[in-house]
Amino acid sequence: MGTFSQSWLPLAGDQAVVRSLREHDLPALYELEADPWVKRYIVGKPFSKPREDWLRDAQALCSSDNTFCIARSKSDTFLGRASVGHYIRDGRHTDRELQVLLRRSAVGSGVGREVCTLLMKAAKEYLGATRLFAEVHPGHPHSPALVHSLGFKEEEPRIASDGQVVARIFVFNV
Ligand SMILES: CC(C)(COP(=O)(O)OP(=O)(O)OC[C@H]1O[C@@H](n2cnc3c(N)ncnc32)[C@H](O)[C@@H]1OP(=O)(O)O)[C@@H](O)C(=O)NCCC(=O)NCCS
């Protein structure tokens, strides 16, 4: 927790701001994490933690150096979460992984593109990243086009032991 300074936050865009999570964001963050629609293309295990347990443990996220709040610029309404944490590949930490998760009501109006652009710039200017990765569920209908248009190039996918593609991998040389 808090291993490097968050002095580079907030990042302000026209529609949205990326800032540290605050305690009052946590109930909305829980709703986001528990929404099967939002999570339908997220690689990993389904979300199953009971609300009260999750909320208690989630206090630590408010000092996280990796999970940030996306809020509406003018009203500060919670829109989702973003991260640009270390990317673990073949058991090694390498560069950074960009992840954006918006609540259902915020999808499709340009917030995702704006937040990705803000974080790509911050990764270069403040975090010293040389490469950014995006892992995308093979069935995701929008993310591949979004990351392509932001300048990411597709690499070999992540494949499970049964030969199934688990995630498409996109990389951006910062
Ligand atoms: C994926 C996600 C981050 C994209 O953010 P967004 O704000 O919805 O997307 P934007 O409005 O910025 O649009 C980005 C591109 O995706 C396309 N797109 C997004 N939502 C779309 C929709 N519902 N229908 C059609 N196209 C859509 C747009 O064509 C747009 O391209 P354009 O700018 O060339 O028109 C967001 O939808 C989300 O968080 N979804 C739920 C969680 C998730 O799947 N996260 C991604 C994990 S890899």
Q: Measuring from each residue's beta carbon to the nearest atom of ligand 1, which residues come in under 6 Å?
A: 38, 41-42, 80, 100-102, 107-113, 136, 140, 142-143, 145-146, 149
Specify the pLDDT at position 165. 95
Q: What is the pLDDT of residue 1?
A: 40
Q: What is the pLDDT of residue 22?
A: 95
Q: Which atom of ligand 1 is the closest one to the Cα of 42?
A: 47
Cα–Cα distances (Å) from 117 to 4, 22, 56, 112, in that order, read: 21, 23, 32, 9
Per-residue CA distances from 152 to 102, 130, 144 (Å): 20, 13, 9
> How close is the Cα of 143 to the center of ligand 1, in Å?
6
CA of 142 to the centre of ligand 1 (A): 5
Contact 173, 131 (CB under 8 A): yes
CA 35 to chain centre: 15
Domain chopping of the chain, boundaries: 11-173
C-alpha 158 – ligand 1 centre gap (Å): 22
Q: Which CATH class is domain 11-173?
A: alpha beta
Residuewise pLDDT in 10s, the chain (174 residues):
434 457 899 999 999 999 999 999 999 999 999 999 999 998 777 788 899 999 999 999 998 888 999 999 999 999 999 999 888 766 766 689 999 999 999 999 999 999 999 999 999 999 888 899 999 999 999 999 999 999 999 999 999 999 999 999 999 999
